[in-house]
Structure 1
């Protein structure tokens, strides 16, 4: 048995074997260890479905790669994985569900997923066993289907062995130790005894340069061994298998094809054929999380007791949809653990705070994702970056504030919401509110409809008393739209106040700080008292993080980045600092996100509002261009509150960010409201702010900015100083310009705006995609940002965008179509 490898994969389910296969085919000396037998975890009882439907860009790519890989596994390995390509029919009982499918269609088109829409009559003519009179239609994936989970796992394992990988079973990992250059993994051989798996007492070490954990239901044990948090906790998932249905048997004996995998999303179940009968898999309410801390040693390829009462509603709805199933009996039942995460997406990427430790945990659709996860994770490990932006799956998207209780309750919610309408403006209620800024109660009293980012409560918009945010959600312009539009208009005309306290904030100082930041970021560093916008790159030359840097002293800096990515940014920055102290000199880094609140005050009257609160020997001049120019920082006193005030506005109007001690947030909020009443101040939420920043073509991290594009492709040349050396520069230049970021104005439907997932087309051919979308009050039409071929990025280029199944005119506009000269931002007073 090997004791030293390039990469060690821990966990022998479908995901682990998919990763093993990908790394072995990339030429890495790789070994997999499994505490029991391959497929002994959730893989063995998985239904094996391969749903291509997904709203996420990265996840859609992963699923698409998996399905294509599985289709050729038998040819490559000689093992039949049991792949049945029967298609996937997603039925819709409501117009809202059809709208959801149209939005998904936009995402699928950007990736190239084959799909088509069917009417109820078309469904009935093809599958007469189905009741269709209460359907609005369906979305059909002809290339979708199902596979035998055990067989596909064994096929990937064989393919990995053929490529030189090693697999060792009955090996349990009991510890991890980082030496500074490699991992020492302490293992123990397990043996069968009385039907149980028990330690043999044979302990040994395996040395690996890289480790990947794909431990499934055992993720909490893995987290403890690594000393980190992994919010992957299983939830019970039931499915039942019926006896043969005579009507189905007759249908097949007549020479008809197998039914597609059926999904009645509004009834919250999937159904597929199984040996003349049906498999019903519901996603019901009240399915409990299990194994919050440990999987019992006695739990191997085991199941939980079935709770038929919990799935009675879904079972009856299957009978309604397939009337012939009413008389058939139950043959088998399964109730097993399936891992989830708080947002339903898996954790794929670097483990927070650790070197060369990679996580592949929390897969609720592990069979579908296994092959693609291996492919893209191998790219990250071998090449330094995947060809698609994997940030939406990065384990560091969840902070250390997250507890076991939080993860368990949110995972239960994620399970229950598998088939719930996935509105782009949805906000799920479990575990909220948890993280709140001091002015939270004031905002609620003012009608704030809250969203959640990184656990923080943050106003999306403000509505009158009695307004129901849940009922207002839509795939078109929801009931909230009018309020967001009014907020955007008010900020342009008078002033708006936005709570931006969730911003990520770091302090970096010390003798090495200046030289380090000069190398770490793309732009020139600001002078003391000034700020700049800059970017940190990956080693592959793509955009890793966007920073607003405030220089507070010669070797002291205040860094502000996106609020949704605190742990993600902190981990990246801390690693870089630690790696370069010897090179640049001593540095001190602190995450001060929760120490400072932030209010953004912007609009033509914002200076007048602040002037009422300024305490200074000459208050009338404190906020003038001479004393406080654009893109600078001043420490000023607003009443009793000391504020680090930054003259910058994400909305493109005259404005300031007010960074203040968080404990003084409620007092400052009250004073701003009082002063603002005399100047037309309106409270503004994140949705209006998102529209306003698009009018200025301000790129946002996580949409226009990410690990699949460089700053030059994003059109941010003015923030990249090519005269200096910086991390990722050579790789960035080597990539060239593959696509360009543009802003488009859209003559769209009267009741809908783009969400930032839509394809851009020219003469019927996809030439790009939107990454953001919304409405422009300044231009009275829809607006969007996205990427197109470089030759189509010139202002005036006429394109089409697909929304709600139709093509609409979209014209590339100049960058910052609203106030392109920034005159409103620089106005003096």
Structure 2
């Protein structure tokens, strides 16, 4: 195999971990020296903070810190992050980071201004109201570039890696969609596996292989001040803790003893919060043409003046010391279109793997993730958030990538990015035929997978006159941000009458051919072939080889050799890539027809859904139970318009998913609207009613590092046909007790210390009230609320969370930590058991056993 970009910390880490996994005959190429003297690694600040609001990032950063320490190349000096006086949003963000730290396994805590001053004497104590302290933060010493060199030397000494510096990849040879080799000026290397870890040079290299890499280089100003001799004679590479003032989009650290290679200075880094400077990869200078390094560009003091002036207020010594103009520069680094790393096998080209958009703090961790993925088909933590296949093709076009990367670069050090924060760029890419009507109704649009989705409609504000007493006001701005109160009123209207929800974001694939049945039968846990009748829909899962849940979806049999696969919009492209790869690997004679942009979808649900549709359908008898039973689909006509009606529900109410050609979509919407059907936003479907029904969401509640038995979705019997992950699934089913169970919990009291009722948003830790610690199962997985929403039908905040077996019991009470306060929360259901049965209009009795045996789940749509 070949690693292109061998000289940076990522390429070196990938090689190291692949060799640990038993790989050999690895060739490493780099356009510069090895280790690299021109890449982002060569000038990185090399500091590592552990905390993040992302589970994967916490995993890779903690692993990386431990890895650096094991090599003796880490100085764990700790790190501060401050909130200025008057910046309450920043202080709340620090509380949120502490919560994420508890949820995902870091050790951060809050400290007062006096303690912050004691730890970092250079700051002005009177300017801050508090700080976050990360005891595990620190610096890679003497540099991550040196660590890369150590790893490469060891790998070469093992005889399993050969490196070739100053040897760029001139072309990546791809034939029939697969990597065949790499062309260099020294000759051709035959290989079927290539890893790109070239950082800012990644996009043009990916293009050589016919792949799109949604990444942009951008400038990061770095300034150095000195001389600073406080740590003279200590021999330290760094003396004080790391310091972040993210409210000013900046950080600072000392460089230790002047006698060390880079010592005797203060380094101040800044991220431009309004006009970040993106650079086209083609505009990066070649080494021989660059004044400094190709990844280092000239810095103008005016570029950073506003941030610099505020920094002097916080740390006056910056104004007292001289600015080293020659040593200061703009360092180029990578930013992806959504801010996440880019790993995994290319959707376009088999054998082309990516290790891109990775920070130094994550380098070894991401190297292990990629090595585990390439060797064992998955890493220890679900990679859905970093998988390159998460992007649809429309999200990888140059204009889209530039706009999103520019927005993301602004938020690198943003004071507080809300978990529901929408992008402003890259909008209106994908609109359903219903969009004009939704706009006229005052749709509150958010975007997912490129689709514009209305979460509620301003025109439905009158519903609050009827349901306002059951829809609480959200007095806390954070809880109400990007949430529209009318959504909960729509929820209740649908439950009382009939509503329609635009579901055109569904990813729909028609799979047909001689081997369609065999392929989907092999992919699916449930039986979709054999005696499954035409028109029957089956809710099923795709597993990985270890029995982890990689997809949940619905498969409908259209003919003996044809199926319709219906996936969630956010997961749809990854699901399609998985089906395609399995088709190729098994040599299946199958055609995959993407119907996503040709079939519009409306969900029609509520107690009056049947009567409403029966009044409009040309032949009402087609809706009878014997002709269209639950979980079945068939063609019907509405005033002559063709509609494929699938009787199924993700909101607990009776009704259908109605599929129609885009050309008929607007007319069908108008027909239903004129019949009195209330448009209902996606908020009801995706959040409030989903949680009232205890329904799981892939990539949030369903993950590859949990199994179907833990998720409460194991089927009562295992089909006789073989399927991917079957052996692991059988082993999991055979356990007397699972390590954890997915539970549904409700908040018992949501009033904070100031008397404000809170409605939690995001993912937050659960706390054992006796120990004060987060419950951890026998596999080391921590308990946190993965899904959270207010359910207006039950009048409570609802959460889904995996709990260790000892805690997964009806009535078990814990605490939910939210912005530094803890609220009592109770387990009301273990497994897939609804809190609310809309047909009995009452809470279900919590009489289920603590650890239910595998049971057939209610069939629900993907």
Q: TM-score, normalised by structure 1?
A: 0.89
1:347 aligns with 2:342: yes
Q: 5+ unaligned residues in a row in structure 1: which ranges?
A: 1-5, 75-80, 190-201
Which residue of structure 2 lines up, in the alignment, with residue 48 of structure 1? 46
Q: 5+ unaligned residues in a row in structure 2: which ranges?
A: 256-262, 462-473, 752-756, 776-782, 842-857
Counterpart-to-counterpart distance in 2, 1:514 and 1:150 = 52
Which residue of structure 2 lines up, in the alignment, with residue 3 of structure 1? none
**Residues 462 and 96 (structure 1 numbering): CA distance in 2 closer, same or farther, change over 3 Å?**
farther
Shift of 1:612: 3.9
Which residue of structure 2 lines up, in the alignment, with residue 91 of structure 1? 82
**Residues 41 and 125 (structure 1 numbering): CA distance in 2 closer, same or farther, change over 3 Å?**
closer
Q: Name the SS of the counterpart of 1:458 in structure 2.
A: strand
Counterpart contact for 1:434–1:455, Cα < 8 Å: yes
Counterpart contact for 1:463–1:480, Cα < 8 Å: no
- What does 1:477-626 correspond to in 2, within 5 Å? 477-478=480-481, 480=483, 482-525=485-528, 526-581=532-587, 586-616=589-619, 619=620, 621-626=621-626
**Residues 305 and 612 (structure 1 numbering): CA distance in 2 closer, same or farther, change over 3 Å?**
farther
Which residue of structure 1 lines up, in the alignment, with residue 818 of structure 2? 803
Which residue of 228, 237, 253 maps to 1:272? 253
Q: Name the SS of the counterpart of 1:476 in structure 2.
A: helix
Which residue of structure 1 lines up, in the alignment, with residue 153 of structure 2? 158
- What does 1:21-60 correspond to in 2, within 5 Å? 21-29=16-24, 30-37=26-33, 38-39=35-36, 40-60=38-58
Counterpart-to-counterpart distance in 2, 1:758 and 1:722 = 37
Shift of 1:821: 9.2
Which residue of 210, 214, 217 maps to 1:227? 210
Moved more, 396-405 or 741-750: 741-750
- What does 1:419-498 correspond to in 2, within 5 Å? 419-420=413-414, 421-463=416-458, 474-478=477-481, 480=483, 482-498=485-501
Which residue of structure 2 lines up, in the alignment, with residue 406 of structure 1? 400
Counterpart-to-counterpart distance in 2, 1:720 and 1:262 = 56
Which residue of structure 1 lines up, in the alignment, with residue 745 of structure 2? 744
- What does 1:379-398 correspond to in 2, within 5 Å? 379-398=372-391
Q: Name the SS of the counterpart of 2:664 in structure 1.
A: helix
Which residue of structure 1 lines up, in the alignment, with residue 99 of structure 2? 106
Counterpart-to-counterpart distance in 1, 2:430 and 2:662 = 13
Shift of 1:277: 3.8
**Residues 439 and 820 (structure 1 numbering): CA distance in 2 closer, same or farther, change over 3 Å?**
closer
**Residues 811 and 295 (structure 1 numbering): CA distance in 2 closer, same or farther, change over 3 Å?**
same
**Residues 757 and 252 (structure 1 numbering): CA distance in 2 closer, same or farther, change over 3 Å?**
farther
* Deviation readout 1:92-131 (Å, 9 max, x if unpaired): 2333223323333232213321111012333234434322
Which residue of structure 2 lines up, in the alignment, with residue 139 of structure 1? 132
Which residue of structure 2 lines up, in the alignment, with residue 782 of structure 1? 797
Shift of 1:317: 1.3
Shift of 1:698: 1.0
**Residues 588 and 667 (structure 1 numbering): CA distance in 2 closer, same or farther, change over 3 Å?**
same
**Residues 242 and 609 (structure 1 numbering): CA distance in 2 closer, same or farther, change over 3 Å?**
farther
Counterpart-to-counterpart distance in 2, 1:776 and 1:656 = 22
* Deviation readout 1:648-698 (Å, 9 max, x if unpaired): 121111221111112332332222222225xxx242233663121111111
- Aligned residue pair count: 783
Counterpart contact for 2:617–2:636, Cα < 8 Å: yes
Counterpart-to-counterpart distance in 1, 2:386 and 2:450 = 17
Q: Name the SS of the counterpart of 2:786 in structure 1.
A: strand
Which residue of structure 2 lines up, in the alignment, with residue 187 of structure 1? 183
Which residue of structure 1 lines up, in the alignment, with residue 280 of structure 2? 291
Counterpart-to-counterpart distance in 1, 2:191 and 2:633 = 48
* Deviation readout 1:551-583 (Å, 9 max, x if unpaired): 12222111101101232111110111233345x
1:172 aligns with 2:168: yes
Counterpart contact for 1:487–1:688, Cα < 8 Å: no
Which residue of structure 1 lines up, in the alignment, with residue 849 of structure 2? none
Which residue of 240, 252, 255 maps to 2:223? 240
Which residue of structure 1 lines up, in the alignment, with residue 64 of structure 2? 66
Which residue of structure 2 lines up, in the alignment, with residue 653 of structure 1? 653
**Residues 136 and 491 (structure 1 numbering): CA distance in 2 closer, same or farther, change over 3 Å?**
farther
Counterpart-to-counterpart distance in 2, 1:108 and 1:496 = 40
Counterpart-to-counterpart distance in 2, 1:294 and 1:593 = 37
Which residue of 399, 403, 411 maps to 1:417? 411
Which residue of 690, 696, 700 maps to 1:699? 696
Which residue of structure 1 lines up, in the alignment, with residue 110 of structure 2? 117
**Residues 732 and 105 (structure 1 numbering): CA distance in 2 closer, same or farther, change over 3 Å?**
farther
* Deviation readout 1:219-251 (Å, 9 max, x if unpaired): 122122110111112112211112236xx8499
Q: Name the SS of the counterpart of 1:107 in structure 2.
A: helix
Counterpart-to-counterpart distance in 1, 2:516 and 2:89 = 53
Shift of 1:801: 2.5
Q: Name the SS of the counterpart of 2:635 in structure 1.
A: strand
Counterpart contact for 2:513–2:590, Cα < 8 Å: yes
Counterpart contact for 2:490–2:684, Cα < 8 Å: no
Shift of 1:377: 1.1
Counterpart contact for 2:684–2:690, Cα < 8 Å: no
1:689 aligns with 2:683: no
